[in-house]
Amino acid sequence: SLRCDQTSNLCCRKDYYVDFRDIGWNDWIIKPEGYQINYCMGQCPPHVASSPGMASSSHTAVLNLIRAHNVRAGGQSCCVPTHRRPLSILYFDRNSNIVKTDIPDMIVDACGCS
Amino acid sequence: GGKPGCPSCRMPTLEPGTERRFLLELAKRQILEKLHLSERPNVTQPVPRVAIANALHHLHVGEAQRDGQLGSFAHWDGPNADELGYEIISFAKTEFSSPSSTGLRFRFSRGPGQDVHILQAQLWLYVQAPWSGLSPAMLRVSLGGALLSERQLEAQASGWHTFALLPALQAFFRGQEKTLRLELECRGCQANATAGSDAGGSHQPFLVAKATMREPGQRVAKR
C-alpha cells in the first residue's frame, strides 16, 4: 500500500514513531527506544473496495470496475492494516527480572481496503 | 473535529496534537495488553547495570553453547500462535552467606490463571578460586534440602559455571510460589567462593529460562 502524502486521500499508511521517553516508559523498557506504530487512513471508494493495497491483480481491478457500476454490491469498505510485524522488546518486570519477548502484530506495515 | 473522515470507518482525520495523544495512548494500551500486564511495572530494585551487561555478554557470546549447554538469549523458533513466548533473566538476591554456603532468592510473578510452561532453565554462578587444599572442590546446588546438581571444579581459575535446572523450574512454575530459594554449597573452596553477588554486583548469580505463557481460557495449542 502507499505511504500517505498530501496528494491523495485514498487509503494509505500514515507513519508515526512512538519514543518510549515521550511516555516515560524508557525506565522499564530496556530495548528498543521506541517503535513505528503507524496507522491506516484514507478513503475506500467503491472502485478500490476490497483491494489489498497495491497488491491487487488486474482481475481484482476489473472486478472492482464492475462492482463500481452497481454500487449496491460494493457495500462499505474500510482502510485497514493488511500486514503487521512483531516488536521484539527487552524489559524489566515488577521483580526487576529482564524479560525478552516478541509482541505480535505491533507494527503496521501495509494498509488496504476491506 | 476537522475534515469529515472516511464515512464508512468514521475515522476522523486527526489534527497533529490529537494524533500524538491518540497514538501514545494507543501504544501504551497495546503494549500492556499484549504483555498481559494490568499496569506498567515499577522497577523498585534496579539491578546493577554491570551485572546486566555481564549476564547479556555471557549469554550472547555463546559461552554456554561452548559447554554444550543451552543458553543463547537469542530468538528461537518461537511459540504457538496463541502463546506468548519469552525468555527471562532473573538476578539472585543473597539471602544468607556463610564461608561454605550461600542462599539465593529469585522472584517470579504471574497473573491469576496464567499457565507458564518452562522450556529451558539454567543457573549461572561465578566461583572465586583458588580454593584451599589440594583436592578439587565440589559445588552443590540444592532446593529445599534436595540436591539438584553438583559439579567437581577442576580449573584453578575464577570463572562462571552453569547448571541446567529444568525439572526444578518446571515444578516451581506448576506451583503458586513466587519466590524460588536455592542453596549453594562449595566443599573444599575458599571462604565465600560463591558469594558472587557481593563482588560489587558484577558477578551476581542469575537464572536464565525460556518459557511460553498462555492466558486463562486460551484454547490449548495443538503441538
B47-67 tens-digit pLDDT: 888 888 888 887 776 544 544
Q: Judge contact between B24 and B34, C-beta under 8 A.
A: no
Asked if the Cβ–Cβ distance from A104 to B34 is below 8 Å, we say yes
Reduced to 3 states, what is the DSSP secondary structure of residue A46? helix
- Residue B218's pLDDT is 59
A40/A112 Cα distance (integer angstroms): 8
A50 vs A95, residue with greater confidence: A95
Nearest C-alpha neighbor of A16 from the set B31, B24, B11, B5: B24
Pairing outcome for strands B93-97 and B159-164: unpaired
Phi, psi of B59 (to 5 degrees): -70, -35
Burial A72-100 (b: 16+ CB within 10 A, else e): eebeebbbbbbbebebebbbbbebbbbbb
Of A5-19, A24-38, B2-16, B155-169, which range is least confident?
Answer: B2-16
DSSP notation for B189-210: PPTTTT-GGGTTTTT--EEEEE
Whether B10 has its CB under 8 Å from any CB of chain A: the answer is no
CA distance A15 to chain B (A): 11
For residue B146, is pLDDT > 90?
A: yes
Whether B49 has its CB under 8 Å from any CB of chain A: the answer is no
Pairing outcome for strands B137-143 and B146-153: antiparallel
For residue B44, is pLDDT > 60?
A: yes
For residue A18, is pLDDT > 80?
A: yes
A39/A18 Cα distance (integer angstroms): 12
Is the ipTM reported for this complex over the cut 0.90? Answer: no
pLDDT band (50, 70, 90) for residue A70 = low
Per the prediction, chain B carries an average pLDDT of 79
For residue A44, is pLDDT > 80?
A: yes
Q: Judge contact between B44 and A96, C-beta under 8 A.
A: yes
Of B76-85, B108-117, B182-191, which range is least confident?
Answer: B76-85
B179 vs B12, residue with greater confidence: B179
Cell (9 digits) for A14:
500514515
pLDDT band (50, 70, 90) for residue B79 = low
Cell (9 digits) for B38:
494490568
Asked if the Cβ–Cβ distance from A96 to B24 is below 8 Å, we say no
- Residue B80's pLDDT is 58
Minimal-distance CA residue of chain B relative to A101 = B86
With cell 543451552, the residue in question is B70
Burial B11-22 (b: 16+ CB within 10 A, else e): bebbeeeeeeee
Asked if the Cβ–Cβ distance from B23 to A100 is below 8 Å, we say no
